Structure 1
Amino acid sequence: MEARLTDRLMTAFFIIIILSTGSCENDLFLKFCGIWHHGKNPLSLNVGLSTGCSKFFVSANESSLSINGNITSQCRRFDVIPLKRYKLDSEKDIHFCVHWEPMLDQLMLQLGDMNFILCKPSSSPASCCTDLSDDTREPNASYGIFNGMIKGDLVQSQTITGYNFKGAETPCKELCEQAKQKGSDWTKSFELPCAEKSESEMEKGFSGTNVTSDYFHSAPTVYVPPAVKPDTTMKSKVVITFYKNNSLFQEGFKTSNLLNDVVEVTVENEVIVDLPKPIRMNFPHDVIPKNHARQCVSWDTRKDPWAVNWLPDGCETQTKGAKHTECLCNHLTYFSVLVHPNLRPVRHLLALTAISSLGCALSFISCIALIVFFWRNRRRSKEQSLSIHVGLAVSLAFLSLLFFLTAVLANVVGERVCVWVGALLHYATLSSLTWMGIQVFHTFWLVYVVFRPSPKPYMWYLIGFGLPLVPVVILAAVGGFYGMTQVVPEDDVANPYRMCWLKTDTESDKTFLAICLTNMTAVAVLVISGALMLFVVYREIRTRDEWQQKRVAFLSIWGLSCLFGTTWGLVFLEFGPLSDFILFLSCILNSFQGFFLMLRFCMLDWIRKQANGSVLGSTSSGSTRQHMLQASEKS
């Protein structure tokens, strides 16, 4: 009996010790989520934050969501933000989450798909507002917050006007020591977001300084040049803050990500830009895969102070082996290294996208008009290449439509649907190239095999629409090639252009090989054969009297240059100082190709009508065959 009683007392003693040990640990972070039930009025976000640690309120009504209270160490903010310009579905209830990290004095609101930075991260505040507990005494209401949850635990399922939190002020150094005791080697495997601030005085004659963190293992090294010191002050202070594992900085990235290390460089009460000698920051990191690229970026807080916006402007990237990246930047803000799939950033992507969209829309309409034109005149025309013209118009219309819609579909449909859209877009591209190749072969047939009939139309349809299916079906059967991909704009790497196409973010070597074996091979064969065919046709007709008397032959040559893929060959010339010009020229000629095709047939039809000829007898291959027959009869 005594032994049993002794065991029970010992068990109770250990439970008390465990509970007392747990109660000493502070509840560092707050994650409060809920659903905002609002009305149909214009919506707004109201922010009222000041320093202290007394009360924190999250409330909502028919038209506004409010974040108020005394919770921060340094941050003060009072704003009313209209939500009309943000992409929020105001017709439905909106899910939101409030994230509070006291060790960084950082507060973020996730509202729908948008993230609002209410308080930017700062370094090592003296006091932290922790142990925020629910002190709700708000009544039920028609509009407000329902399904309120704290760290995933449901607090209130009914709709109430708001939630009140009360906290306790704690020295931040104690919290860091508390976190340090949780890991055996904390400086090497620290997972919590944290920051360290280093301050350096810059007096007269300042010659530059190197700064690194003694707090974090493998932290960046920052060289501050003499040009950072303002000439207007005798003494100033440069503040360098090292951030570690802060998830806030990763906002907005899907396939790309930043390094865990972020450096903030500031000079008190000064805005420093256009430095004659840049700041040098050496970022150590793990080995970056060969199929990924590194790019130094800085956080532009001027464009939208409520959002994280990383840009490469003002920074130069220098790779120092597989484990080091050096950034040279001419201004002061937050800095880090963006790691993304090895895609070449595209200059002027917004302008190119606008041109492509306009060109594809116009080409689709033009191709549909051409198909109707050919169909109405199919009985009057004896043109043997009519089926080829129809096949090319159909393939170009399909390609233009898919390319015009791919960006919309990539942002609306899921990954599974995007796989099918990417496969269809690849098929449409190969089919268009194949029909252009058929044009090349058919013209060669008419030039050198004058008295033999050309193959039946069903043969052309079988080749033009059936042959491209083979590589697409093979790639789809293997899997992993089609889906969501991204084109990175050079001026805004954090907001890539999404489309359904061949994937470039995973298994890039295999995807590159697939692109080379399909698209690039088809383009190369098409360009070479097209150039040879232009030379052959010109050599055959340059001695005819019609060359000087009529413009049909010239327009035939011009039409062949558009149809036989010489414009696609511009992709091989995109280098050097004329790369931007070649890029825009290629974009215009290829996206408007359906329109140029219609324009060519309209001009040829008009010229033939002026000469009282047939409606469709002046097509490139048809006129070539006619001239060859006339030459044979004369001989």
Structure 2
Amino acid sequence: MKTRVADHLTTVFFIISLLSAGSSEHDLFLEFCGKWRHGNKPLNLDVDVSPGCEGLSVSANESSLFVRGKITAECNRTEVISLDKYVIHPDMNFCLHWEPLLDQMMLKVGKRNLILCPPSSPAQNCCTDLSNGANMPEAEYGIAKGTVRNDPLQEKTLEGYNFTGQHTNCKKLCDQAKGLVRGFRDTEHPCAQRYEQEMKKDFKGKKVFTSGPKQKTFVTVDIPSDLKPPKTTKSKMSVTFLKNISMFPAFSLSAHETVSSKEARTLMDVVEISVENENITDLPEPVKIFFDHEYVPWNLRRKCVSWDTHRDPLEVNWSTFGCKTKRKGSRHTECQCDHLTYFTVLVQLEPKPVRHLLALTAITYVGCAASFISCVGLIVFFCRNRRRTKEQAVAIHLGLALALALLSLLFFFTGILANVGGDDVCTWVGALLHYALLSSLTWMGIEVLNTFWLIYMVFRPSPRPYVWYLIGFVLPVVPVGILAGVGDIYGMAEIESDDDGDDPYRMCWMKLNEQNALLAHCFTTMALLAILVSSGVVMLFLVFREIRTRDEWKQNRVAFLSIWGLSCLFGVTWGLTFLTIEPLSDFILFLSCFLNSFQGFFLMLRFCMMNWVRKQASRSVLGSTSSGSVKQHMLQTSEKS
């Protein structure tokens, strides 16, 4: 009986041993951090890393920080680097990050990330499971508060730390990383993929693409035939596809335009293209890289960038030089580059900050206040005139004044309500503001249609006023109600200021950073705005052609104010929203803000001016014995309205 129990226990122990051995995990990376206590002498970084797996040593003295060891698969670097341009603070924090799966090593010194070994595809064996070995003795200058993955090793200041590793099959390590590294789960393989080919005399180009199951993102590289150097009989070309490289932060775009890592990010895919022992630049036919990536909203900028090593080979500097960007929709980007290095797409996380936001906000507040007061005056004026005249245009003007008054009032208070009420209030205020905007644009379209009816449909009765009111006030409820029912469309929106990025302007509007809200904005507001502006421009031209020969239009002042008023009445000024001419962008932005904010005020001026013209015309008609045709009378009625 005891023998059977012993046999069962042995079997159970053996099974547990197998399970524990099969489930053992290797270290996917090493992160060693500490505080370098140095003197006042010039500081240097002494790097000496080479292939192997004998171990790693990180030490420091009064003037130098040493990183030495044989742990890499291919990287071989021996160099003494001056840190004076990187480091100025005493007792400086640093972190050494080693990732065997990609054979890459990065040293973070202060706020700088220095690439000691660039990423590459894994070799046969990876040096991993680096464990802390025999430490060096205490010293006045050295490394204090050493930690491995935030686990403290020693509070005292030591000369340095030693780490020993062991060889591990890279394929096993890669399979282990699948589904574990930085949210890959079961959709992406985190290891690099490398394609190599000998380019002989008859090389005619090549298409290379990523492979593997369940690829969420996809990259295709089109290599031109001109890639092969003409002086060599054959050369080895390699294309390496890298996934989710955290070692490639977004530091700078060019020497004149900088973007911090908080404002931009690179896509998950990074591609390295190289030719063995050759520096390829100025290709007559560019290398084409097609990125099929995750959804990127249209209002976020995308730039094809390459790793620029000319300014500083240690730091990652993304540059747009030599690359052209072609956007192929929200999920596809094509890059055309005339040189070889690392390539990716840099995406700005937030819309471009607005310059002069404070001045634009002040203009908007003053304009909305003036427009609201002017619209209230117009409402009173039209209500009185409706009793005296049967002209249908008065009812349409009244509807437009009501819609603009609501829009101006909501836009004036949207910033205050966003800061006071938060997201809960902004959900309702944003929907109401969207309704007011759609209603105002609809009423401007009704003005266009009514003017066309008066001029070209003289003998046909126009629709009753209640039909226009149903279109202008009830129809916009339909899209707003549907979007509100869908949910997560309306809420608080933040507009970043180029002057002060820490204090954005908050307003209640649509969440344009969400895909559904962005599509809703395009199919409702922007589509209606495009129809309104195009029809308004056409109608403005037709009206001008009909009445340009009148006596009162020969007065420059009257003609200018009339065209100005008709432009506001037909919504033509909103067309400035579509103009993005870079040299004049600030001027167009200020002009658009001024015209659209004061639109109610300009309409009041227009109607006051036309009322004065009508009185002058009435006096001249009383002294005249001639009468015009029916069409001329209708044209006069249209202009008076």
TM-score bracket for this pair, using the shorter chain length: 0.5 to 0.7
Does structure 1 conserve the Cα–Cα contact (< 8 Å) formed by 2:493 and 2:510?
A: yes
Does structure 1 conserve the Cα–Cα contact (< 8 Å) formed by 2:304 and 2:345?
A: yes
Aligned-pair CA distance for 1:554:
1.7
Aligned-pair CA distance for 1:556:
3.9
2:339 is matched with which residue: 323, 327, 331?
A: 331
* 1:30 and 2:30 are equivalent in the alignment: yes
* 1:568 and 2:574 are equivalent in the alignment: yes
Aligned-pair CA distance for 1:166:
0.4
Secondary structure of the equivalent of 2:101?
helix
2:203 is matched with which residue: 201, 207, 212?
A: 207
Partner of 1:80: 83
Cα deviation 1:389-424 (Å, max 9, x = unaligned): 999699679869989x9xxx9xxx9xx968977986
Secondary structure of the equivalent of 2:519?
helix
* 1:175 and 2:181 are equivalent in the alignment: no
Partner of 2:58: 57
Aligned-pair CA distance for 1:154:
3.6
After superposition, residues 433-472 of structure 1 pair within 5 angstroms as none
- Shift in alpha-carbon separation, 1:224–1:434, aligned structure 2, 3 A: closer
Query: What is the TM-score normalised by the length of structure 2?
Result: 0.58
- The one-letter code of the counterpart of 2:170 is L
* 1:268 and 2:276 are equivalent in the alignment: yes
- The one-letter code of the counterpart of 2:564 is W
1:103 is matched with which residue: 89, 101, 104?
A: 101
Aligned-pair CA distance for 1:626:
1.6
- The one-letter code of the counterpart of 1:80 is L
- Shift in alpha-carbon separation, 1:377–1:215, aligned structure 2, 3 A: closer
Does structure 1 conserve the Cα–Cα contact (< 8 Å) formed by 2:199 and 2:228?
A: yes
2:483 is matched with which residue: 475, 478, 485?
A: 475
Partner of 1:626: 612
Does structure 2 conserve the Cα–Cα contact (< 8 Å) formed by 1:258 and 1:338?
A: yes
Query: What is the TM-score normalised by the length of structure 1?
Result: 0.58
Q: Which runs of 5+ in 1 are unaligned?
A: 184-188, 344-348, 449-462, 488-496, 575-579, 605-616
Partner of 1:230: 229
- The one-letter code of the counterpart of 1:29 is F
- The one-letter code of the counterpart of 1:270 is E
After superposition, residues 605-616 of structure 1 pair within 5 angstroms as none
Moved more, 44-53 or 265-274: 44-53
After superposition, residues 390-539 of structure 1 pair within 5 angstroms as 431=436, 475-476=483-484, 478-482=486-490, 502=510, 508=516, 511-513=518-520, 515-522=522-529, 524-525=531-532, 528=535, 532=539
Secondary structure of the equivalent of 1:103?
coil
Moved more, 332-341 or 240-249: 332-341
1:248 is matched with which residue: 246, 249, 266?
A: 246
Secondary structure of the equivalent of 2:83?
strand
- The one-letter code of the counterpart of 2:226 is A
Cα deviation 1:513-552 (Å, max 9, x = unaligned): 453234432553466357647865886686244x445614
- The one-letter code of the counterpart of 1:621 is F
Secondary structure of the equivalent of 1:273?
coil
Aligned-pair CA distance for 1:314:
3.4
Secondary structure of the equivalent of 2:531?
helix
Does structure 2 conserve the Cα–Cα contact (< 8 Å) formed by 1:440 and 1:530?
A: no
Aligned-pair CA distance for 1:202:
4.9
Does structure 2 conserve the Cα–Cα contact (< 8 Å) formed by 1:97 and 1:111?
A: yes
Does structure 1 conserve the Cα–Cα contact (< 8 Å) formed by 2:57 and 2:67?
A: yes
Aligned-pair CA distance for 1:240:
0.3
Distance in 1, matches of 2:44 and 2:439, equals 59
| Matched pairs, number | 539
Does structure 1 conserve the Cα–Cα contact (< 8 Å) formed by 2:374 and 2:604?
A: no
Distance in 1, matches of 2:33 and 2:108, equals 9
Partner of 1:454: none
Partner of 1:307: 316
Secondary structure of the equivalent of 2:238?
strand
- Shift in alpha-carbon separation, 1:7–1:107, aligned structure 2, 3 A: same
Secondary structure of the equivalent of 2:563?
helix
Does structure 2 conserve the Cα–Cα contact (< 8 Å) formed by 1:209 and 1:224?
A: yes
Distance in 1, matches of 2:188 and 2:45, equals 30
Partner of 2:639: none
Cα deviation 1:234-278 (Å, max 9, x = unaligned): 456333043354533785699997466x54221234321232234
Distance in 2, matches of 1:19 and 1:530, equals 76
Aligned-pair CA distance for 1:3:
3.1
Distance in 2, matches of 1:371 and 1:332, equals 54
Partner of 1:133: 131
Aligned-pair CA distance for 1:51:
0.8
Does structure 1 conserve the Cα–Cα contact (< 8 Å) formed by 2:374 and 2:600?
A: no
Does structure 1 conserve the Cα–Cα contact (< 8 Å) formed by 2:44 and 2:64?
A: yes
Distance in 2, matches of 1:382 and 1:211, equals 67
- The one-letter code of the counterpart of 1:268 is E
Distance in 2, matches of 1:519 and 1:466, equals 19
Cα deviation 1:298-353 (Å, max 9, x = unaligned): 5333477533748696368799xxx9999765321234689999x9xxxxx97xx6
Q: Which runs of 5+ in 2 are unaligned?
A: 179-185, 251-260, 383-397, 455-470, 496-503, 622-641
Partner of 2:67: 68
Distance in 2, matches of 1:298 and 1:557, equals 47
Distance in 2, matches of 1:4 and 1:512, equals 69
Aligned-pair CA distance for 1:566:
1.0
Partner of 2:591: 592
Partner of 2:118: 120
Does structure 1 conserve the Cα–Cα contact (< 8 Å) formed by 2:123 and 2:170?
A: no
- The one-letter code of the counterpart of 2:272 is E
- The one-letter code of the counterpart of 2:240 is F
Distance in 2, matches of 1:84 and 1:474, equals 57
- Shift in alpha-carbon separation, 1:559–1:291, aligned structure 2, 3 A: closer
Distance in 1, matches of 2:65 and 2:529, equals 58
1:194 is matched with which residue: 191, 194, 214?
A: 191
Distance in 1, matches of 2:3 and 2:142, equals 62
- Shift in alpha-carbon separation, 1:527–1:212, aligned structure 2, 3 A: closer
Distance in 1, matches of 2:85 and 2:140, equals 23
Partner of 2:626: none
Does structure 1 conserve the Cα–Cα contact (< 8 Å) formed by 2:532 and 2:570?
A: no
Cα deviation 1:113-146 (Å, max 9, x = unaligned): 9866443113445774422123567879999876
- The one-letter code of the counterpart of 2:316 is A
Distance in 2, matches of 1:277 and 1:157, equals 56
Aligned-pair CA distance for 1:58:
8.3
Secondary structure of the equivalent of 1:554?
helix
Partner of 1:612: none
Does structure 2 conserve the Cα–Cα contact (< 8 Å) formed by 1:367 and 1:396?
A: no
- Shift in alpha-carbon separation, 1:584–1:214, aligned structure 2, 3 A: closer
Does structure 2 conserve the Cα–Cα contact (< 8 Å) formed by 1:281 and 1:328?
A: yes
| Sequence identity percentage | 26
Secondary structure of the equivalent of 1:5?
helix
- Shift in alpha-carbon separation, 1:318–1:391, aligned structure 2, 3 A: closer
After superposition, residues 37-56 of structure 1 pair within 5 angstroms as 48-52=46-50, 53-56=54-57
- Shift in alpha-carbon separation, 1:401–1:206, aligned structure 2, 3 A: farther
